[in-house]
Amino acid sequence: MYYTSNCSFNFSPNTLLPKMLMNRISCTLKNDIVRSIGHCTEVPRNVNMEKLQHGYLFPEIERRELLHLKKYPHANVIDLGIGDTTKPLPEIVTSSMVDFVHGLSTAEGYKGYGPEQGEKAMRKAIADAFYKDLGIKPSEVFVSDGAQCDISRLQLLMGPNLKIAVQDPSFPAYIDSSVIIGQAGKFVDRAGKYENIEYLTCRPQTDFFPDLQTTSRPQLIFFCSPNNPTGHAATRKQLEQLVNFAKVNGSIIIFDAAYSAYITDDSPKSIFEISGAREVAIEVSSFSKFAGFTGVRLGWTVVPEELLYSNGFPVLHDFNRIMCTCFNGASRIAQAGGLACLSPEGLNALQSLVDYYMENARILVNALTSLGLIVYGGKNAPYVWVHFPGSNSWNVFAEVLEKTHIITVPGSGFGPGGEGYIRISAFGQRDSIIEASKRLKNLLYQKEL
């Protein structure tokens, strides 16, 4: 079968084209025109890849940004779309990495492969810094190159034959990785959903928490708190409900705590603060957002010893096998920086970064609410979730970009529950945040006139 941008078609077995010519016809057509003649292998495309809808959200936004820059080459574009940190790393962190790098040029300091699970000192530092009073052992901590990579490794661990549930809206990697591994089923255009994924609606009317009484019995539940994109941090009572639901139904929770450092109230920062969670939950987290390691790449996953499959086999052992098979360990250089992050001086320096981004969020929230807009987030996460009732998210995104030169993210990119919203990131330099607030206020004020 050969594909165009709008359709697919088959050559008839009785075609008059010689077989040799058939084999030379290009496998890819663009804009309904055969662009080249080349060789096709006999290897079929992974059918799960064919089920993915469009491109991944953030590269698509980058593509639209490039088109905008081509149209307005002199525009001062402010990127508040992808959640990429912008403040420099603290010197204590970079100097630690530099010292390690210099050591690699000496016989005494050179090191090759490290443990696939992470350096012992790094695993202990994570357990002490984030789970000191929660009973998490260093042996239950697996150091990695980031939470998003671990999400895919966890999907590989769990396999294709599971019923999964995700928050709606939620980070798109949960769904896309489910599609690729074969869990999702067909995409239903009318609903904007995959048929085998249960979408747990999380909207303001229910305090951004799903109605578990109407939820079926998913085997795997992806849950992010503070949530990306809404910025909502689940309360202790909500997480107790989630853990109890998982215990009753025999489910496993994949808990994404990548933004836990931004929690300012008494919401739990880890699922393991909840009694019984060690028997039903895995937690993934990252240095990316609280330490500015988006380009350095360092994260971790906690798999408790008590978490068992239906046959009583420990999940930890299988995840260890996955890490040994698919991963050669996080960069030693990144881990040297991670150890510095978790030192007392490092933690103090990183808290100032967190405070900086949260002040950015406060500025954005104040600017938008002053216009009478309905705004969520910005309290426990560096994301502002803005409601435009009755509007198409991509249309709002396009209008904001066209008239203010500001990159945001359309809410529908996070699932059907995000329609009518846009997400604005507070990961920016202060002057850009202030300027963006002015532009947004001018745009929305003019629309009211």
Q: What is the rounded CA–CA span in Å between residue 272 and residue 55?
A: 35
As a whole number, mean pLDDT of residues 428-445 equals 93
As a whole number, mean pLDDT of residues 23-42 equals 56
CATH fold label, 91-345: Aspartate Aminotransferase; domain 2 (3.40.640)
Query: Phi and psi of 345, rounded to 5°?
Result: -65, -40
Query: Phi and psi of 99, rounded to 5°?
Result: -60, -40
The percentage of residues in the chain with a pLDDT greater than 70, rounded to a whole number, is 91
Q: What angle do CA 72, 78, 81 make, to 5 degrees?
A: 110
Question: In this model, does residue 7 exceed pLDDT 90?
Answer: no
List beta partners, residue 30.
Answer: 33
Same CATH fold assignment for domains 57-87+347-448 and 91-345? no
As a whole number, mean pLDDT of residues 379-392 equals 97
Query: What is the predicted pLDDT for the residue at 447?
Result: 66
Q: What is the rounded CA–CA span in Å between residue 175 and residue 281?
A: 19
As a whole number, mean pLDDT of residues 176-204 equals 95
First to last CA, the chain: 54
Burial 26-64 (b: 16+ CB within 10 A, else e): eeebeeeeeeeeeeeeeeeeeeeeebeeeeebbeebbeb
Question: In this model, does residue 370 exceed pLDDT 50?
Answer: yes
Would you tell me how many other CB atoms lie within 10 Å of the CB of residue 419? Answer: 19
Q: What single-letter DSSP state applies at residue 279?
A: G
Domain ranges of the chain: 2-43, 57-87+347-448, 91-345
Query: What is the predicted pLDDT for the residue at 68?
Result: 97
For 76-127, write each residue's pLDDT tens digit. 999 999 999 999 999 999 999 999 999 999 999 999 999 999 999 999 999 9
Residue 54 confidence class, pLDDT cut points 50, 70, 90: confident
For 285-325, write each residue's pLDDT tens digit. 999 999 999 999 999 999 999 999 999 999 999 999 999 99
Provide the token pair at 201: 């609606």
pTM, full prediction = 0.90
Would you tell me how many other CB atoms lie within 10 Å of the CB of residue 391? Answer: 15
> Is 301 buried (19+), middle (13-18) or exposed (0-12) by CB count in 10 A?
buried
Q: What single-letter DSSP state applies at residue 233?
A: P
Query: What is the predicted pLDDT for the residue at 275?
Result: 98
Query: What is the predicted pLDDT for the residue at 58?
Result: 87
Where do runs of H (alpha helix) occur along 195-343? 236-249, 288-291, 315-326, 332-341
Q: What is the rounded CA–CA span in Å between residue 116 and residue 123?
A: 11
184-190 long-range contacts (CB < 8 A, ≥24 apart) are: 184/48, 184/51, 186/51, 187/51, 187/53
Q: Which helix (H) or strand (E) holds 187?
A: strand 187-188
Class of domain 57-87+347-448 as given by CATH: alpha beta
Residue 36 confidence class, pLDDT cut points 50, 70, 90: low
Provide the token pair at 51: 């089920």
Question: In this model, does residue 410 exceed pLDDT 90?
Answer: yes
Query: What is the predicted pLDDT for the residue at 387?
Result: 97
Question: In this model, does residue 40 exceed pLDDT 60?
Answer: yes
Question: In this model, does residue 30 exceed pLDDT 60?
Answer: no
Provide the token pair at 107: 């016989």
